[in-house]
Chains A and B, each alone.
Chain A
Amino acid sequence: MSEKFDVIIGLEIHIQSKTESKMFCSCSAQYFQKEANTNVCPVCIGLPGALPIPNKRAIENCIKLGLATESTISKNLRFDRKHYFYPDLPKGYQISQYDMPLCSNGRLTIFDKEGNAKEIEIERIHQEEDVAKSTRGVESDGKEYTAIDYNKSGVPLIELVTKPVLTSPSDAKNFATAIRQLVRWLGISDADMEKGQMRCEPNISVQEKGKWKVDEGKVLPIGDYILNPKVEVKNIGSITAVEKAVAYEVERMIEEIESGKKLTQQTRGWDPVGNVTVFQRSKESAQDYRYFPDPDIPLIEIEESDITRLKSEIPELPSTLYAKYTEEYKLSHYDASVLIADKETSDFATDSMNNLRESFKFTPEESAKTVSNWITGPMFALSNELSTGVSQIGITSGGLTQLIQAEKEGKLPLSKARELLAVSVKEKKPIEELLNNLGKVVSDSSQIESIASEVLENNEKAVADFKSGKESVIMFLVGQLMKETKGMVNPNTAKEILLKLLKQ
């Protein structure tokens, strides 16, 4: 990007944990679009005398994310109080974790579009609670007001912080995408950024090349170089905006430095309309949160048996499958990525592959390649048409594997098989039924020739056009032949035979 500067990015991601209850009380955690202040209780609204009761499932979700990122899981869970005054913080402190995060020193590999891998180190993943929602407004008489809705207060939040090792806007985008995929995969969050279920806050700085290093997760200057301050960007509403915001900010910072302006450590907000970052507040001095262990929640022991059980609940991870697909089965980066895009697609693919191996004796590589082609090709196209997921278009893994097997056995050409797939989806007819109503494959070349002759006889104009040089007409003639045979002939063979006849 720049010749003079390195870009250093750390991502701070908050993920709303998908649990039934809030983090410290039994109010529902599903608050989206509920009438304001109807999803509250003494605990999450911070009434005098209320006490927190930790949500076990939320803690397990956090641990699972730690396990899935090869993090070290703390032997004991300790919550700390993080103090600051703000209208959306009912107790005047947030129950969070300070220096004993539940998970630490993890890693996650991200891929760029070409499939180049990069391992991103994760500093920590910890458990905390969400704050209330505050909305600014102006009354009819011009007075400004802030309205607070406590429905969201106390919802379990997982905070993940990377080390400052991302180096480009696309890194940030790819990491955010990978985390979103992972938390959905694990079933611990829906991570819909528009609903606030996942929030990304990049911390960005630019430093002169060769004048800095990372030591123990901190960016340090070399020699007497003075580090440029970092900027935190908030209010980013989508993953594409993450990339845009980082790119904008890097450019803005470099511009400021080169025009001699002094940078300050600050918080900026992303403006999705203007596509710029806007100054929010200065962060010259680190805020003192006066952390101390929350006396209302004694230390919780995390036992080995808990870890073992949680490990067993974690399905095969996308990274494991990706490695298997690309290294063992030699699928392309793109194909492998489509197969693991989400758990439903992946489960569908796995079931199909298993089916092919067990019922139809495909080799593992064959089954992978075949299923991959079907999913990334026709199924993906259909899913786009229907604006739904690949596994939701109405094809079962059983149906797909039957179709594949039928094609392999020569019961129908590939083109016909694809056609059946589309018919099954659009007319909601099961594959089995369509296969049963198939005619016979026309493979005998003399048979094809005789049908081809008929087609040529019935399409004099097309033949004339072809002979006068309009070679693309052949596709129309092929189409006619396919129609006559109800698609039960290999289109390439059909084309060959027609051409042979036309040249006679």
Chain B
Amino acid sequence: MENVSLTQAIKLIKDKKISVKELTQHYLNKIEEKKDLNAYITINENALEQAEKLDSEGNSSGSKLFGLPISVKDAYSTKGLRTTAASNILKNYVPTYDSTVTKKILDEKAIIIGKTNLDTFCHGSSTATSDFGVVKNPYNKERVAGGSSGGAAVSVSADLCVAALGTETAGSIRQPSSWCNSVGLKPTYGRVSRYGILAMGSSLDSPGPITKTVEDAAYLLSIIAGKDVNDFTTSSLPTSDYFASLDPNKIKGLTLGVPNQFITLDLHEGVRKNFEEAVKNFEKLGAKIKYIDILDPKYSMAVYTLTCRSEVSSNLSRYDGTRYGVAGELELSSSDYFGSTRGKGFNQEPKRRIMTGTFALSAGYSDKYYRKSEQVRKIIADNLKSKFKEVDLILGPTTPTTALTAEEAINNPLFGEMADVLAEGSSLAGSPGISIPNGFIDGLPIGVQLIGPHFSEQLILDAALAYQNLVS
């Protein structure tokens, strides 16, 4: 049961080589063993009971995730299971409904083994902003896991579950995957429903899988993707069985564009060399490499910062202590009450972002900041889309560095934006992307990423599988 992938675990259970209970207990033990990594905020105390029940029922209906212990980022609403968004303001919040994605995996008889740690309200790229402590990198505990889906990435790479669900706004799946040696898929915006996921950047948030293999990511995506009546921003385009359709041979003859702007960025030397190897590997696989120009990532950074913080300031307005979450002091007027709840419940990072976002939306400034930002966003998105007329996919390093330390994260308010600089452009455009492991630099994992046009998840997975087969 050590280091089994999702697809391997399916076979083991189906062939009755292990029981659901055994597998579940195995992960519960490992989670306890490695609790210093701090990957989980809440463990599902009914997991074992649910496992036993599944064992006694059997899988006659052919549920696709039968008995598989999956971790879920603590930004997804899980009915009956505490959901905190790694914030004190929700430390006692138990949702009364399931998000669409968690409902889908539960309908396929998965076991949610626990809720993974994250940067508070997804604000960050390290998990250092979590009110439940930072998540440590399993390859070097002095380093952080990355974020905001740091706990999810660690739960997979430290083998604390079979697969994980994370979310990405700009880098939050891909970056921690790169730092923790996992596969992280960010689907096209609108491919997977956001209903029930605590909103950060409503026009950016993309739920997606973080897994041990590319096959696992394809398998999970098939289950969670699709139009949702509860999310008006989901796409009506049909989904596929991405797993069944996997075809690594598609890499042959594919044109991969490498943005010059990614290379001239301030990449750590090790990363630069590592990436050059990746380029050669893709050529070995039969892909054609073409160097292209995209808009300077600094524009994406500025636009992302403004747009996301504006949306954050709006999305966090509902946490006022009247209906859920930490209560304020009842003796006050309503505005003071709200102030006391939010003052107590939010830490520095959400407060910072709320203030920035409120400013950017305020009268007299919103034209200059928010509206302008949205106009530039369209230019960035169009520019990226146009590149896919010249190339099939874009190839680049996922992150400019390997995992950094917590101090580096805390002391720089724009840490996240800089760590995500290679992801922001594609996120703003709503494009899908995947990060796949590409070895280690000084013992720390590093990934490479493929970005594609909207709804090109199949092609991205095909190319990623070809690469995975080559390097592992």
Chain A residues packing against B (C-beta within 8 Å): 42, 45-54, 81, 83, 85-87, 90-93, 146, 148, 286, 288, 290-292, 294-298
Contact = CB atoms under 8 A, between A and B. Distances in A.
Contact of B363 (A47, A93, A148, A288): A288
Given A54-B232, A85-B338, A292 B310 contact: yes
A90 B370 CA distance: 24
A42 B95 CA distance: 9
Nearest to B199: A49
Give me the 10 closest cross-chain CB pairs, A-B, nearest first: A92-B317, A295-B203, A295-B202, A290-B361, A49-B196, A288-B363, A48-B198, A49-B77, A46-B318, A91-B318
Contact of A53 (B201, B230, B334): B230
A83 B314 contact: yes
Interface stretch (B9-17, B180-188, B320-328): B320-328
B317 A47 contact: no
Contact of A47 (B95, B314, B338): B95
A321 B156 CA distance: 72
Interface string B333-362: 011001000000000000000000010011
A85 B195 contact: no
A292 B203 CA distance: 12
Given A86-B334, A290-B361, A296-B233, A48 B324 contact: yes
A290 B363 contact: yes
B440 interface: no
Contacts of A50: 195-196
Contact of A42 (B90, B96, B358): B96
Interface of B: 76-77, 83, 85, 90, 93, 95-97, 99, 194-199, 201-203, 229-233, 310-311, 313-314, 316-320, 322-324, 334-335, 338, 358, 361-363, 366, 370
A95 to B, nearest CB: 11
B323 A51 contact: no
Given A45-B323, A85-B320, A295-B202, A93 B96 contact: no
Contacts of B320: 85, 87, 92
A474 B99 CA distance: 86
A146 B334 contact: yes
B370 A292 contact: yes
A90 B318 contact: yes
Contact of A292 (B195, B199, B361): B361
A428 to B, nearest CB: 50
Contacts of B77: 47-49
A49 B318 contact: no
B314 A292 contact: yes
24 contacts: A42-B96, A45-B323, A46-B318, A48-B77, A48-B90, A48-B198, A49-B76, A51-B231, A83-B314, A85-B317, A85-B320, A85-B338, A87-B334, A91-B318, A92-B317, A92-B318, A146-B334, A288-B362, A291-B361, A295-B201, A295-B311, A296-B232, A297-B232, A297-B233
A85 B317 CA distance: 8
A150 to B, nearest CB: 8
A99 B160 CA distance: 51
A236 B108 CA distance: 54
Nearest to B234: A51
Nearest to B198: A48
A363 to B, nearest CB: 55
Given A48-B319, A146-B334, A288-B363, 13 more contacts: A48-B85, A48-B90, A49-B95, A49-B99, A49-B196, A53-B232, A83-B314, A83-B317, A87-B334, A92-B314, A92-B317, A294-B202, A296-B202
